[in-house]
Copies of this chain bind each other. A is one copy, B any other.
Amino acid sequence: MKIERKPSTALLPTPVVLLSVAGHGKEKPNIITLAWVGTVCSTPPMLSVAIRPTRHSHGLVNAAREFVVNIPRADQVAAVDLAGVWSGVEHDKFAELGFTARPASQVAAPLIEECPLNIECVVRHQLDLGAHDLYLAEIVAVHYDEELIDSRGRLKTAALHAMAYVDGEYWSLGERLGSYGQAAKALRTGNK
């Protein structure tokens, strides 16, 4: 049996990322935790981030039109939670959370050194959807911790120890279930 519920942001799991943005005027660079993010296009590679206009980072992103999406490890969950609850008005999150700001390659926003994967982005579109502004941003560079890349240049997914967001909870990833096309290939092979 199914239970029908009122409309809500029920999609799951979502990513949970640390967005870093350059300072502006007297404002220092800031970090904000976001779960309302997603990939939106492959060519050009683009992602979306949704930010409430009440957040300090909203003004910084509007000024800079650039940011870095940093993917944290599961063991960084406490800092990820604090960066989402705290405001950059009251906290220097880089200093207080022990994160190192590393110069990016293509944008003015700093990378978070301690995150294993860093995605540099430039805003191409901005839409006012209601409670959130949606930024559609082109990915202009990607950085990986070198120990995540194998000898053939491929990503070692398990070594990421990535984290997901599920209905207000942070979850680790479990086991690899398969790869894209695997079931289709098995079916073809089995049919021969």
Question: Which parts of A94-125 form the interface with B (CB within 8 Å)?
Answer: 102, 105, 111, 113, 117-119, 125
What is the copy number of this chain in the assembly? Answer: 2
Give CA–CA (A43, B176) in the complex, Å.
34
Give CA–CA (A182, B160) in the complex, Å.
23
Find out whether the CB atom of B12 lies under 8 angstroms from the CB atom of A117. Answer: yes
Q: Which A residues fall within an 8 A CB radius of B?
A: 1-15, 17, 35-48, 50, 69, 71, 74, 77-79, 81-82, 84-86, 102, 105, 111, 113, 117-119, 125, 127, 129-132, 134, 136, 138-146, 149, 155, 157, 160, 162-164, 166-184, 186-187
Give CA–CA (A166, B15) in the complex, Å.
10
Give CA–CA (A37, B74) in the complex, Å.
22
